[in-house]
């Protein structure tokens, strides 16, 4: 059962890509495992062994869903940590093995949680090449492959789907070139529960997921490793999780993650169909109101729940606060930077002028959105935009 957030039509939640509420049944798992497996999973007494069993059961379930061995699942605090561990860990281990900093290649569409560790490595002497995007924020994967091929060893970073425009990246091309020497880290955060699992994902050297994007509590994610992945740890301490991620593990968070992942994967097909339907209803209703906008999303090859619209005639700084005041919960880009006055760097890299990028909204629907809410959201947004247009023309 999905939680109802508010009374219908009071506040309308259109920010699913930033994070979802915890699902009721997952919350029950969290509470039950917290009560039952309360000890430190590293303790060797009976209570500790019980907590360890709960943790390892969760790891096994995640591994069986993601078609890998349990030892190749590392629980983290979320995808920011998983991206950091993958990118810093792979690059530093490769430098140790090959005796030199390896080239890094990534798309300009990556989330800050991937771009920031890449920048850290660049400052430490790793050559970094960021490839350009098309108007939907699709990465130029040929350019990625060309750059990766200039060295006998490299690390490429390419997400599954973009959190802002929703575009699905051409991961198959990169997957077919991934090897023990040509490493690929995939930030797969946005695809889970919205897209059918793509077999290309299983070729990634490392793959990051975040629980709160599909109904687990905030504060838990995973890194899935390929069999031969060589990583240096980023966080050191007690040597938990094969010394890859020191720190006391949380059996309740791990069990909640496994439960939410199982549900998201099981329900994906139905969710996708519903989301596509709601997106069409919303978009048609907005178009019928005669509001001019530019579309930055990709209907054919994008996340079924994501719209990214620009309103070039408006002052973008007022857009989010005005939506919020009218009960529409939307964002302008990555949630972590949506409070910032800066335009989305992804939209700018996709070719929008900074002032147009600033006047953009990301609307990301959740699977429990109802038809009446989709209509009401479009109507409310249309009204608000008309009001803002009038003010702008004065
Ligand atoms: N990667 C992508 C594509 C995301 O959308 C997000 C969150 O918005 C993250 C990484 C960061 O995940 P977390 O919130 O689990 O740190």
pLDDT tens-place string over residues 276-306: 999 999 999 999 998 889 999 999 999 999 9
329 and 185 within one domain: no
Let me know if residue 37 belongs to a domain: yes
293 and 236 within one domain: no
Residue 368 has pLDDT above 60, yes or no: yes
Let me know if residue 1 belongs to a domain: no
196 and 291 within one domain: no
Query: What span, in angstroms and rounded, lies between the C-alpha atoms of 246 and 232?
Result: 12
Tell me which residue of 207, 196, 221, 263 sits closest to 77, measured CA to CA.
Answer: 221
57 and 140 within one domain: yes
The predicted model scores a pTM of: 0.95
78 and 188 within one domain: yes
Let me know if residue 4 belongs to a domain: no
Cα of 99 vs centre of ligand 1, distance in Å, is 32
Task: Identify the sign of the CA torsion 90, 92, 98, 101.
Answer: positive
Catalytic residue among 298, 323, 336, 389: 336
Rounded to 5°, the CA angle 108-113-115 comes to 35
Burial tier of 66 (Cβ tally within 10 Å: 0-12, 13-18, 19+): buried
**Average pLDDT, stretch 297-323?**
92
225 and 284 within one domain: no
163 lines ligand 1 (CB under 6 A): yes
| Domain closes at, from 237, 263, 289 | 263
Indicate if 298 belongs to the active site.
no
Let me know if residue 306 belongs to a domain: yes
Let me know if residue 254 belongs to a domain: yes
Q: Which atom of ligand 1 is nearest to the CA of 159?
A: 3
| Contact (CB, 8 A) for 135 and 102 | no
**Average pLDDT, stretch 375-381?**
96
pLDDT band at 78 (very low <50, low <70, confident <90, very high): very high
Residue 391 has pLDDT above 70, yes or no: no
DSSP 20: -
Query: What span, in angstroms and rounded, lies between the C-alpha atoms of 333 and 135?
Result: 15
| Contact (CB, 8 A) for 185 and 87 | yes
pLDDT band at 315 (very low <50, low <70, confident <90, very high): confident
Q: Specify which residues 72 forms β-bridges with.
A: none
15 lines ligand 1 (CB under 6 A): no
Determine the residue of 18, 76, 77, 80 to mutate for testing ligand 1's pocket, defined as the one with the most ligand atoms within 8 A of the Cβ atom.
Answer: 80
Residue located nearest, by CA, to atom 16 of ligand 1: 80
| pLDDT tens profile 323-358 | 999 999 999 865 555 555 689 999 999 999 999 999
Residue range of the domain that includes 154:
24-263
289 and 389 within one domain: yes
Query: What span, in angstroms and rounded, lies between the C-alpha atoms of 315 and 332?
Result: 13
Residue 8 has pLDDT above 80, yes or no: no
Let me know if residue 7 belongs to a domain: no
pLDDT band at 104 (very low <50, low <70, confident <90, very high): very high
Residue located nearest, by CA, to atom 12 of ligand 1: 79
Let me know if residue 6 belongs to a domain: no
Q: Which two tokens stand for residue 202?
A: 């299983």
Cα of 152 vs centre of ligand 1, distance in Å, is 31
DSSP 153-168: SEEEE--SB-TTT-BB
pLDDT band at 127 (very low <50, low <70, confident <90, very high): very high
**Average pLDDT, stretch 184-213?**
98
Total number of domains in the chain: 2
| pLDDT tens profile 202-243 | 999 999 999 999 999 999 999 999 999 999 999 999 999 999
79 lines ligand 1 (CB under 6 A): yes
228 and 304 within one domain: no
């Amino acid at each position: 059962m999905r939680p109802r957030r508010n009374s219908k039509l009071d506040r309308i939640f259109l920010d699913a890509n930033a994070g979802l509420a915890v699902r009721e049944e997952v919350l029950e798992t969290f509470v039950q495992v917290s009560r039952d497996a309360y000890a430190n999973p590293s303790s060797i007494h009976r209570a500790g062994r019980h907590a360890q069993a709960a943790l390892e059961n969760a790891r096994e379930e995640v591994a069986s869903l993601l078609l890998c061995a349990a030892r190749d699942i590392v629980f983290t605090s979320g995808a920011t940590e998983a991206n950091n561990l993958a990118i810093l860990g792979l690059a530093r281990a490769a430098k140790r093995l090959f005796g030199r900093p390896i080239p890094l290649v990534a798309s300009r569409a990556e989330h800050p949680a991937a771009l920031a560790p890449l920048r850290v490595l660049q400052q430490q002497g790793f050559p970094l090449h960021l490839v350009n995007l098309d108007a939907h924020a699709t990465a130029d994967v040929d350019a990625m492959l060309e750059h990766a091929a200039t060295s006998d060893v490299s690390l490429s970073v390419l997400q599954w789907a973009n959190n802002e425009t929703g575009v699905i990246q051409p991961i198959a091309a990169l997957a077919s070139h991934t090897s023990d020497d040509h490493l690929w880290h995939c930030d797969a955060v946005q695809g889970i529960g919205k897209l059918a699992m793509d077999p290309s994902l299983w070729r990634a050297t490392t793959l990051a997921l975040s629980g709160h994007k599909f109904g687990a509590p905030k504060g838990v994610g995973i890194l899935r490793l390929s069999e031969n992945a060589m990583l240096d740890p980023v966080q050191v301490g007690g040597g938990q999780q094969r010394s890859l991620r020191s720190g006391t593990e949380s059996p309740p968070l791990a069990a909640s993650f496994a439960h939410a992942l199982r549900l998201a994967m099981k329900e994906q097909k139905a969710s996708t169909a519903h989301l596509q339907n709601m997106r069409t209803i919303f978009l048609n209703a907005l178009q019928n109101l005669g509001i001019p906008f530019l579309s930055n999303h990709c209907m054919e090859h994008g996340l079924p729940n994501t719209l990214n619209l620009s309103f070039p005639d408006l002052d973008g700084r007022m857009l989010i606060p005005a939506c919020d005041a009218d009960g529409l919960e939307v964002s302008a880009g990555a949630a972590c930077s949506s409070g910032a006055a800066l335009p989305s760097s992804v939209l700018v890299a996709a070719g929008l002028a900074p002032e147009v990028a600033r006047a953009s909204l990301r609307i990301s629907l959740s699977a429990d959105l109802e038809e009446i809410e989709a209509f009401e959201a479009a109507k409310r947004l249309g009204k608000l935009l008309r009001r803002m247009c009038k003010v702008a023309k004065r």
